[in-house]
Amino acid sequence: MEPSESRSKDDLILGIESSCDETAAAIVAGGRRILSSVVASQVEIHRKYGGVVPELASREHLRRIVPVVREAVEQAGVGLPDVDAIAVTQGPGLIGSLLVGVTYGKVLAMALGKPLIAVNHLEGHVHAVILEAQAAGRSVTLPAVCLIVSGGHTILYYVRAESENGVVRFSYSRLGGTRDDAAGEAYDKVARMLGLGYPGGPIIDRLAVHGNPKGVRFAEPKMKGNPFDFSFSGIKTAVLYQVRRSPELQEEIKVREEALARGERSADALRALSKPATLDMVASFQSAVVDNLVNRTVAAAEQAAVTTVLVSGGVAANSELRKTFEAEGKRRRIEVHFPSRALSTDNAAMIAAAGYPRYLAKEFEESTLNAEASLPLA
Ligand code: KG4
Ligand code: ZN
């Protein structure tokens, strides 16, 4: 079915997102037209710690939330009173970070006399794909299997939509997920171990094309039980052992870490300081992670007898993941949809889009709404 029917095409939803390390606000019209999408990234603040520091994240959200919302409204060319509802990420995420967005959303809704909508961050990632496909005039056939793959999540959902009196209701069932690290977390940890800086995904993505993906053999994780579960801690540990075994590699890592400390973190600079064997390891790591993600997702789609796969979250920006999904999709006659790179990572346009069906269904929150760090989607 087409999850795109809408009664009031131009109603404006202000989306607010603050679940992790991005302060974001966006205005989306009619659930599908992005008028603005502002994202204030905290990557520079967390870089020197090699990961997100929760206390620093919430402090930064507090500093940025007001200017970010103001900028989203200005860029959309509207005024705050023109907004029809406010959709805010309730969870899952870092509690201190979530609280900033939820509190600000509640206060704004109250001050403006507008309805407040609570959105699950994971549902936001699902809607990032649907939103962009629709904006590009592509219809998304549902039901679908959706892989959400980011620094915090690696999870597979079955997504369906039912239409009732012109209102579309989405529902989700969890098919599987990671038993240990999220895929993005594995990228970040491996990059850190190899002296490639933070965040790890984009740099590994760029360096992997210069290595041989079959250069190092990483064993497939052996797991009993649910065939749609993932595990990435084994491969991360395998990289750690390679580093421990090789004083030469340790020396090479030290040189890269010194370059990073001088601010030399471009892919070219780091590549020039990497031996072919290291580039092979990077390429092989990426290839193992990508194959794992694609194989399980496609198997889940086949078992669920759906012909649509949605892929979203920070790691969905990965070039190799996109290429492999596209090739495998073609081979198995499965449509694969990705958001653009900008909407793959955390943003508020996806929160506004996910809030829109709830807006039409008048599923509004009271001012007692609370942030929930482990809010499940299903
Ligand atoms: O969705 P996101 O912005 O935040 C979370 O909810 O986690 O995802 C961030 C994660 C990080 O782990 C980062 O290394 C990874 O996405 N990432 C990538 C790429 N770009 C970002 N991983 C692989 N390839 C990329 N191109
Ligand atoms: Zn996310």
Residue 219 resides in a domain:
yes
Strands (DSSP E) contained in the chain are 12-17, 22-29, 33-41, 85-91, 116-120, 144-149, 154-164, 167-177, 308-312, 335-337
**Structural domain boundaries enclosing 71:** 12-141+341-360
Check residues 145 and 10 and name the one with the higher pLDDT: 145
DSSP 230: B
Flag whether 81 is in a domain.
yes
Does 203 lie in the same domain as 275? yes
pLDDT single digits (tens) 12-66: 999 999 999 999 999 999 999 999 999 999 999 999 888 899 999 999 999 999 9
What's the whole-number average pLDDT of the chain? 95
Last residue of a domain, one of 260, 279, 306: 306
Contact between residue 22 and residue 41 where contact means Cβ atoms under 8 Å apart: yes
Protein residue with least CA distance to atom 1, ligand 1: 314
If asked whether residues 18 and 137 sit together in one domain, one would say yes
pLDDT tens for each residue of 89-134: 999 999 999 999 999 999 999 999 999 999 999 999 999 999 999 8
CA of 150 to the centre of ligand 1 (A): 5
In a domain, 288, yes or no: yes
| Distance from the alpha carbon of residue 148 to the mean position of ligand 2, in angstroms | 8
Task: Answer yes or no: is the C-beta of 346 below 6 A from any ligand 1 atom.
Answer: yes
Instruction: Tell me how crowded residue 122 is: count the other CB atoms within 10 A of its CB.
Output: 29
Residue showing tokens 């200017």: 67
Q: 193 and 85, same structural domain?
A: no
Kindly report the pTM of this predicted structure.
0.94
pLDDT bucket at 167, cuts 50 / 70 / 90: confident
User: Ligand 1 in contact with 184 (CB < 6 A)?
Assistant: yes
Give the atom of ligand 1 at the shortest distance from the alpha carbon of 187. 14
Determine the 3-state secondary structure of 26 from DSSP: strand
> The domain spanning residue 26 has which CATH number?
3.30.420.40
Q: How far is CA 299 from CA 172, 175, 231, 278, in A?
A: 18, 11, 16, 32
pLDDT digits (tens, 9 = 90+) for 258-292: 999 999 999 999 999 999 999 999 999 999 999 99
CA of 285 to the centre of ligand 1 (A): 16
Residue 98 and residue 54 in contact, taking contact as beta carbons nearer than 8 Å: no
Residue 237 burial (CB count, 10 A):
11
Nearest protein CA to atom 22 of ligand 1, as residue = 201
pLDDT of residue 9: 53
According to DSSP H, which parts of 216-246 are helical?
233-245
CB distance 181 to 232 below 8 Å: yes
User: Domain for residue 196, yes or no?
Assistant: yes
Count of domains forming the chain: 2
| CB 197 near ligand 1, within 6 Å | no
Model pLDDT, residue 343: 95
Check if 195 has its Cβ closer than 6 Å to any atom of ligand 1: no
Residue type, 306: V
Q: Does any ligand 1 atom lie closer than 6 A to the CB of residue 92?
A: no
What average pLDDT score do residues 218-230 get? 92
pLDDT tens digits for 202-211? 999 999 999 9
Ligand 1 atom at minimal distance to the Cα of residue 93: 6
Which pLDDT does position 2 carry in this prediction? 42
Residue nearest to atom 5 of ligand 1 (CA): 151
Residue 4 has pLDDT above 90, yes or no: no
Q: Is the CB of 124 under 6 A from ligand 1?
A: no
Residues 302 and 347 both lie in one domain:
no
